[in-house]
Amino acid sequence: MDIKSSLHQIKEKFKGNKFAPAFNAFHTFLYTPNDVTKGGTHIKAADDLKRTMNMVILSLVPCLLFGIFNAGYQHYAAIDAANGVIREVSLFGNFINWENFILGATKVIPLVVVSYVVGLTVEFIFAVIKGHEVEEGYLVTGMLVPLIVPVDLPLWMLSVAVIFGVVIGKEVFGGTGMNILNPALTIRAFLFFAYPTWMSGDKVWVHGAVERTGTPEAISGETILGSYAQNQEIMYSLYDMFIGFIPGSVGETSKILIIFGALFLIFTKIGSWRIMLSTILGALFMGLIFNQVVDFGWITETSKFYGLMNVPFWEHLLIGSILFGAVFMATDPVTAAQTLKGKWIYGFLIGFISIMIRVFNPAYPEGVFLAILLMNVFAPTIDHYVIEANIKNRLNRLKIKSS
């Protein structure tokens, strides 16, 4: 008997059993089920939610791989910098090599594993309790979470945050498709407010920087945003920022790979180009306003806002996680605006508010995740007004008719 029919028999045996959803979750990864249409259309298009989610994961894989190498590279680069050695980055020389990979992988892979294992366990438990199938939402969330945290984040903190994020951010609303806040960002927000010392500052962004603090081997773990916020000189070139040879959260430093991911999502018609584009436009617009403010001389070099306000408006896209947020976070269809017009407004405001928080909050300059969470809350309101227009047209049609 082949695997297919033996699995089929197990499935039939467990039908109606409490743990059927758990078995089915694994079974459906191997085989798309033998379900046939019943009532309604007799044929169905090829795509299901697994395929859709899988596309998002595929688009994130390059960022993850880059993040692994970068974790290693930044560690060794910071040691060199502390010893006064000037490093010139070369992609296939001192970046893509075993040394970096092994160090990076030992730090990053555990983050991925913990994120998935903890998150999916929570999902399985809820699926069994509530008797529904395990939904695929966490597959993407579980991949996003390790990419948006500092590399040295203790694993127990990640576990606590994931449990919080999945339960409070998603399951209490009714599971995948019902949540108001982006689960990955809920997890990040929890980490940020519960363990601020591990989520911000000038140490956490490079592996080893925290544990070496105060020792003779101390190294810097500062991001570009942090340097700007303290009005310091920036040591990285635009090329470094674009390719991603900079410290930051695990997977969001490489702008070029994020752009590749974005193009893949747009091409496969999975991601909303409207949200991506409007977020970028919103960020550029806010950046431009700040540039004008500086040009008019309203803010001078003595101001604590000067550093970030004076960043050329387009350079905002290359630093911090605005691009990652625009492509992978803001576009989450469940928590974003759902109407076409609404998506434009929603994205624009995310970009706009992200840069505003970035400039006005020098203590923690990365405002993207807060901006997205804020707009998640307002997305239904935006949709409401867009739909209201449609409803008004309908009422007007009736009025014209009856007058």
Partner 1 sequence: MSKDIIVIKGLDINLVGDAEKTLDISKDSKFYSVYPEDFHGVYPKLIVKADDKVNAGDVLFYDKNDEEVKFVSPVSGKISEIKRGERRKVISINILADKNIEYKNLGKLDSKASKEKIVEYFLNAGLWPFIKQRPYDVIANHKVSPKAIFVSGFSSAPLSADLDFISKDYQDKIQIAIDVLSKLTDGEIHMSIRKNSDSILSDLKNIIIHNVSGPHPAGNVGTLINKVSPINKGEAAWTIALQDLILIGSVIESGKFSSERIVALVGSSIDNPRYIKTTIGSEMSTILGKGIKDNSRIISGNVLTGKQSSINGHLDYYSNTITAIPEGNDYDLFGWTRPIFDKISTSRALTFSWLLPNKKFDLNTNTNGEHRAFVVTGSYEKVFPLDIFPMRILKACMYNDLEEMEALGMYEVAPEDFALTEFICVSKQPHQEIIRKGLDEMKKELG
Tokens found for residue 375: 């707009």
If one asks whether residue 129 binds partner 1 (CB under 8 A), the answer comes out as no
Q: Which of residues 356-385 bind partner 1 (CB under 8 A)?
A: 383
Kindly report the backbone phi and psi dihedral angles of residue 284, in degrees, each rounded to the nearest multiple of 5, phi listed first: -65, -40
Least distance in angstroms from the C-beta of 103 to partner 1: 31
The binding track of 176-195 with respect to partner 1, each residue x by CB under 8 A or -, is xxx-----------------
Does 2 contact partner 1 by CB under 8 A? no
Judge contact between 166 and 183, C-beta under 8 A. Answer: yes
Burial class (CB in 10 A: 0-12, 13-18, 19+), 307: buried
Structure tokens that stand for 289 in this block: 């306003």
- At 303, phi and psi to the nearest 5? -70, 145
Site for partner 1 in 267-326 (CB under 8 A): 267-270, 272
- Kindly tell me which of 36 and 85 has the beta carbon lying closer to partner 1: 36
Q: Does 341 bind partner 1 (CB under 8 A)?
A: no
Q: Which is nearer to partner 1, 1 or 395 (CB)?
A: 395
d(CA 167, CA 187): 10
Q: Does 135 bind partner 1 (CB under 8 A)?
A: yes
Looking at 339, 365, 366, 368, which residue binds partner 1 (CB under 8 A)? 339
Using CB under 8 A as the binding rule, whether residue 238 contacts partner 1 is answered as no
At 336 the three-state DSSP class reads coil
With beta carbons less than 8 A apart as the criterion, state whether 60 and 147 touch: yes
Which bin fits 39, alpha (ψ -120 to 50), beta or left (φ > 0)? left
Rounded (5°) CA angle 105-107-112: 80
Question: With binding defined as CB under 8 A, does residue 211 bind partner 1?
Answer: no
Check residue 235 for interaction with partner 1 (CB under 8 A).
Answer: no
Q: Is 340 among the residues that bind partner 1 (CB under 8 A)?
A: yes
Cα(158)–Cα(250) distance, integer angstroms = 14
Q: Which C-beta is closer to partner 1: that of 38 or that of 301?
A: 38
Q: State the greatest distance between any 2 C-alpha atoms of the chain, in Å, as a whole number.
A: 85
Residue 333 or 362: the one with the smaller Cβ distance to partner 1 is 333
Is the CB of 152 or the CB of 383 nearer to partner 1? 383
CB of 174 to partner 1, least distance (A): 8
Q: Which residues bind partner 1 (CB under 8 A)?
A: 4, 7-8, 28-52, 54-55, 133, 135-137, 174-178, 267-270, 272, 333-334, 336, 338-340, 343, 383, 387, 390-391, 393-395, 397-398, 401
